[in-house]
Structure 1
Amino acid sequence: MTVRSAWRSVRHFVWGEEPQTKEEKRLLLKIDWFILSYCCLMYFTNYLDRSNLSNAYVSGMKEDLHMFGNEFNKINTLFTCGYIVGMIPNNLMLQVVPPRLWLPAMQIVWAVLTFCTSAVHTVHQVYAIRFLQGMFESSTFVGTHYILGAWYKPGELGKRSGIFTSSGLIGTLFSGVLQAAVYQHLNGVSGRSGWRWLFIIDGVITLPIALYGFLVFPDLPTTTRAFYLTEEERLLSADRLERDKDRDASHKKPSWNLARRVLGRWRWYGCSLLFLVSGETESFGSNNLMGQWLKAIGGYTVEQIDYYPSGMTAFAIASTLVCATWTDATRSRARWPVLVYMSICVIVSSICILVWRSPTGLKFFAYYLAGASYAGQATTFAWANQICADDDQERGIVLASMNMWNNVINAWWPLVFYPATDAPRFTKGMWAMIGTALATLLVTALVYTLERREQRQKGAAREVDEGVDEKKDKGYEASLQGEN
């Protein structure tokens, strides 16, 4: 194997199929830079805000606001309720209002709400702010997956989804480091606690990124007027996707028969059920169980409680990127093995934590291994984009519904299985995690089976159509010969 062929093999694995022409390569570089740069920065600030609440809680917020019992869980539940309310309306708005206006506008609103969080004096004020914040932040995750599915081909989609998802995890990783630094250097400055400064800094980071989105985000291939794309590149951005016979790149506004199409197929039910179940494996990270465990057993400083859970986030980032890259590199674009890997990891982690007499080092290993649960997030949404590629409107609804139904469960799931009062052991939560992982394996098998059946049906229908066309052509040729 020559050096050049080896380089091509490595490039294919890391970044997908090489574009067919120089023009397509230049286009892909542009949309990678401008779409991914904004979406990743937006999601970074989104997760930075979410994680900052957990870090603030273990860094003085609990004591300053006199929080007790499950009030921390209630804050997360109200955020989730707002997230549910805003999910589908936000995704539908992306098909009505240009995304380059809608997404940055939502980001500005939640930046203002983040500033407001720094000034609260009661937990009830936090309740109200977090509910509203959930409504506006719900535009980000599924909205970006909708945009990615509109610009990228199946062989390009998985790793871009992985990069986007990892940017949120980097926000979580950065949050712990930022909180520790803020607590160490700003706690008490100008009469403000360190956790209050954290939300101020978060808002300051968010606003310029929103302004960047107004300037560079390109909307959709059929509607883009981005200044950095030539007219030929605008046409190519839509044409390269329309070459796929099973893809709808029209991006029309919602029609009245949308509900009938969505509810009349298996996709909405199967994909929604898949993320409804598999998304709950992220409970280790979303509820900061490791941070709560460290705080409850004692013997760790505030800085250590903020820093140590970052190991789980680092493993989550590595798992997400490796798995997303692998799924795009395979010829079949199979996504299901990632969900199997994720489920096995969280089962092992839960068992290690359930055995309470196990060494502390093993518990650290278990919490870090649980970071693998985030690998399924990017893969599941890339899979749904792939399944629904032939109906753009259905794709938007399915993506939003997946996240919506997961959050419907997540609104009460932590209150039942991961209440703060259960720290440090979370026995109920570990058994629930094992059950969730097993259910994920079953639903993954179901979706895979239904997808394969649909592909076979499409293939058979295509063969029939091609046979009919061939007969028509032969008949036309015979008629010409008869005339001669």
Structure 2
Amino acid sequence: MSPQNAYVSGMQTDLGLHGNELNYITTAWTCGYVIGQIPSNMLVTRIRPSIWIPLMEVIWSVLTMTLASAKNFRTLVAIRFFVGLAESTFYPSIQYVIGSWYKPDELGKRACIFHTASAIGPMISGFLQAGAYDGLNGKYGLAGWKWLFIIDGIITVPIAFLGFLIMPDLPSNTPAGYLYTEDEIQLARRRMEEIGRKPPSRYTKKKIIGFFSTWHVYLCTLLYVLFNNGSNPATSMIFWLQSFNTPGHQVFTVAQINTYPIPMYAVQVVTTLAWAWWSDAVKARWPPMIFAGTWSMITCIILAASPLYEHVARRWVFYYFTLVTGGLSGLILAWANELTGHDSEKRAFVIGCCNTFAYVVQTWLPIVLFPQEEQPRVFKGTVATAGINFAMMCTALLVLFLSRRDARRAAAAQWQADVAREEILGGNQLGVAEDNDSKDDGKVHEFELVDGEVIL
């Protein structure tokens, strides 16, 4: 559950929160989330995902319920940190698992369908929170905002236990059973072999150095960082609605403040699915990124240029557009899965880095660009977000250029290898070839193909 909802539902008053303390509470979760992601994604190549991911979900669900017992700012910060640490296992690990089962023309849809949960969750929870606050506020002596945390945990715990039963592992370590037959598992393994997506292998020094020797970890991570910080104006709508209320005059109730922003998540769901089907149909990840980035950039410019309380309907609508880039997460991670599919550990590392460094930036950037004291106007933050979206589009085009360059090099190397095979006895990878210049002495030379090059 979003701490912003609890904040405007009475937590601010009950705990005496002030200044940027809400930002620090959010940042505490982000810090835990950042610390846990890369280690978790490395572990999920060794520990069965069907055990690791549900276990962490149980832990963060219980911790979420304990937020209701918080008596002060420090307790909130401490608990939120550990919630983030446990929750760090979930999203990047799931995207890694999805990338272990699906081909490129299937992966975008699956990755984005999963990502829609990040939008559907707030839509459902917004109504649940409004109902819980109205129906349970004061029940058994607990304030409405405390019930929000309790109900959130109660809903999540049984889903976590269900994960132990239905969560798939990787094709390489999924046992035959009630979910998959042995034939289905073998089919999944063959499908991944056909596209060169490798199963986990042994960690070596050379492998780990290889994580950093290509552009993938740097540019895929940068692309994800820019995307992840390209929709921050969405956080302003709830404060904008609250700002209409003045002492002695209430325009919007707490329930309305919590529910009126919900349609922005519906926009995110629709656009996420649109980007997914479009991307898989054209077999390219970058076109939706350019389109959504342009749309978001225009949205930010209009929000920055519009007065807060003039043209209220227009501002209301454009707040709903602030999450049109939200669905790009699945596409970027699908792209990362495809670009690094030849090395399972590198793939896990790159995906973990994408999410980790996106949230490293998110620990401080919203505080700088969207400080609570400047809500809901946050002019500089909204303008900066337009620039972030432009940078995201430029990075997507650079990834496209480098991936096509690498594909051309791989094709040229493959052509060279094919020619070599035709010229050398039987086309074997390890064979002997007689030296044309030394036929009289019968000299022979061994050869081997290394990364597509013929080594004599």
TM > 0.5? yes
Aligned to 2:421: 469
Aligned to 1:140: 90
Post-superposition offset of 1:234:
1.5
Aligned to 2:443: none
Cα deviation 1:211-252 (Å, max 9, x = unaligned)? 1111122211011015221111111110111012xx232222
The answer to whether 1:173 aligns with 2:123 is: yes
Contact 2:20 2:371 survives alignment (8 Å): yes
Aligned to 1:122: 72
CA distance in 2 between counterparts of 1:256 and 1:181 reads 55
Structure 2 unaligned spans of 5+? 246-250, 434-456
Contact 2:29 2:83 survives alignment (8 Å): yes
Q: Secondary structure at the match of 2:342?
A: coil
Q: With structure 1 as the length reference, what TM-score do the two structures score?
A: 0.84
Q: With structure 2 as the length reference, what TM-score do the two structures score?
A: 0.90
Mapping 1:97-246, distance limit 5 Å? 97-227=47-177, 228-244=179-195
Aligned to 1:342: 292
Go from structure 1 to structure 2 and tell me whether the alpha carbon gap of 1:471 and 1:405 turns closer, same or farther (over 3 Å shift): same
The answer to whether 1:297 aligns with 2:248 is: no
Contact 1:271 1:402 survives alignment (8 Å): yes
Post-superposition offset of 1:128:
0.2
CA distance in 2 between counterparts of 1:253 and 1:81 reads 30
CA distance in 2 between counterparts of 1:93 and 1:155 reads 28
Cα deviation 1:155-205 (Å, max 9, x = unaligned)? 110000110000121111112111111111111111111111111111111
CA distance in 1 between counterparts of 2:427 and 2:318 reads 68
The answer to whether 1:415 aligns with 2:364 is: no
Aligned to 2:319: 367
Post-superposition offset of 1:474:
6.5
CA distance in 1 between counterparts of 2:347 and 2:377 reads 40
Post-superposition offset of 1:254:
3.2
Aligned to 2:446: none
Contact 1:292 1:420 survives alignment (8 Å): no
Contact 1:92 1:254 survives alignment (8 Å): no
Q: Which moved more, 1:54-63 or 1:348-357?
A: 348-357
Post-superposition offset of 1:79:
1.0
Q: Secondary structure at the match of 1:252?
A: coil
Go from structure 1 to structure 2 and tell me whether the alpha carbon gap of 1:65 and 1:475 turns closer, same or farther (over 3 Å shift): closer
Contact 2:220 2:399 survives alignment (8 Å): yes
Aligned to 1:259: 208
Aligned to 2:277: 325
Go from structure 1 to structure 2 and tell me whether the alpha carbon gap of 1:127 and 1:226 turns closer, same or farther (over 3 Å shift): farther
CA distance in 2 between counterparts of 1:441 and 1:103 reads 32
CA distance in 1 between counterparts of 2:427 and 2:102 reads 40
The answer to whether 1:378 aligns with 2:327 is: no
Mapping 1:64-103, distance limit 5 Å? 64-103=14-53
- Give the RMSD, CA atoms, in angstroms: 1.5
Q: Which amino acid counterpart does residue 218 of structure 2 have in structure 1? A: Y
Q: How many residues align?
A: 421
**Which of 194, 216, 219 is 1:270 aligned to?**
219
Q: Which moved more, 1:130-139 or 1:342-351?
A: 342-351
Q: Secondary structure at the match of 1:281?
A: coil
Aligned to 2:454: none
Contact 1:82 1:134 survives alignment (8 Å): yes
Aligned to 2:380: 428
Q: Which amino acid counterpart does residue 217 of structure 2 have in structure 1? A: W
User: What percentage of aligned pairs have identical amino acids?
Assistant: 36
Q: Secondary structure at the match of 2:229?
A: helix
Q: Secondary structure at the match of 1:353?
A: helix
Query: Which has the higher Rg, Structure 1 or Structure 2?
Result: 2
Q: Which runs of 4+ in 1 moved over 4 A?
A: 473-476
Go from structure 1 to structure 2 and tell me whether the alpha carbon gap of 1:374 and 1:318 turns closer, same or farther (over 3 Å shift): same
